[in-house]
Amino acid sequence: MRFIINIFLTALLAALATWYLPWWTVAIVSFIVALLLPQKNGRAFWSGFLGIFLMWLVFSVFRDISNEHILSARMAKLFHLPGYGLFLVVAAMVGGLVGGLAAWSGAALRGR
C-alpha cells in the first residue's frame, strides 16, 4: 500500500513543484517522500522511479494528444527514435531514473 501511496504522492508533489520550480526539484520531492514515508531501498527506488516516470508520461501524453503528435514526432526524429510513443516513454524514463535514485537516497538515509 505504501508503495502505491509513495508513487502517487511523489507524482503529485513533483508536478506541483516543477510547475513553479526547475525540473530537478523532482529529485528533491522523491528524496523527501522516501525519507518521510520509509520503505526498503529497492521498493523506494521503484516508487520514486514510477512516480516521476508516470508524472512525466501523463503530462507529456496529455500535451501530446492536444498537439496531435506534431512536436513529439519531431523530437523522436531528433533523438533518432522510430516513433513518438517511444520518445515519450524514453523521456519519462530519464525522469524516472532521477526520481528512483533520489528516492533510494532518501530511503538509505532513513535506513529502514
Partner 1 sequence: MRMMRAIVPILLTIILVLVLDNPLGSLPALGRLLDPVNGWAASAERTERDFNFTIVSPAVKAPVTIWFDEYMIPHVHAANEHDVYYAQGYIHAYFRLWQMDLQTRAAGGRVSEVLGDKALNFDRTQRRKGMVYAAENSLKAIEEDPRSKEMMNAYTDGINEYIHTLKYRAYPLEYKLMGFAPEDWTNIKTVLMLKYMADDLTGYTEDIELTLLRDMLPADQFAMLYPERDYSSTPVIPAGTLFEPPLLQKVPVPAGDLWAHLKPTDFEAEKVSNEGKGSNNWAVSGAHTKSGAPILCDDPHLGLNLPSLWYQMQLQTPGMNVYGVSLPGAPGIVIGFNDSISWGFTNNYRDVKDFYAIEPAAGKKDAYMFNGVAVPYTERIERIGIKGKGTFYDTVNYTIHGPVVYDERFPGPGKLKKPLALCWMAHKASNEMLAQYLSNHARNYMEFVEAIMSFQCPAQNMVYADRAGNIAMWGQGQFVNKWKDQGRYIMNGKDSSTLWGKVIPMQENPHVLNPAQGYVSSANQTVTDSTYPYWYNGYFYQFRAWRLNSLLSKLNGATVQDMFAIQNDTYSILAEHALPIMLRYVQAKDDKYLGELKKWNNELSAESLAATVFQVWWECLYKELWKDMLAKDKVPMKPLVERTMELMMLSDSAIQQHQQPFLSNLTAAINSGYKLALDSLAKLDKAGNLQWYKAKNTMVRHLTKIPAFSYDERKLGGWGNTLNAAKGDHGPSWRMVVQMGKEIEAYGVYPGGQSGNPGSKYYASFLDNWTEGKYYKLNFFNNSAKQKDSSSIKYTWTLQAK
74 is a contact residue toward partner 1 (CB under 8 A): yes
Which residue of 36, 63, 83, 86 would you call a contact of partner 1, by CB under 8 A?
63
First to last CA, the chain: 17
How far CA 51 is from CA of 17, 25, 101, in Å, comes to 13, 13, 12
Alpha carbons 111 and 38: distance in angstroms, whole number: 8
Nearest approach in angstroms of CB 54 to partner 1 is: 12
**How many residues contact partner 1, by CB under 8 A?**
40
Using CA atoms, how far apart are residues 98 and 111, in angstroms rounded to an integer?
A: 20
How far apart are alpha carbons 10 and 62 in whole angstroms?
19
If binding is defined by CB under 8 A, does position 46 make contact with partner 1? no
Interacting residues with partner 1 (CB under 8 A): 15, 18-19, 22-24, 26-27, 31, 41, 56, 59-60, 63-64, 66-68, 70-72, 74-78, 91-92, 94-95, 97-98, 101-102, 104-105, 108-111
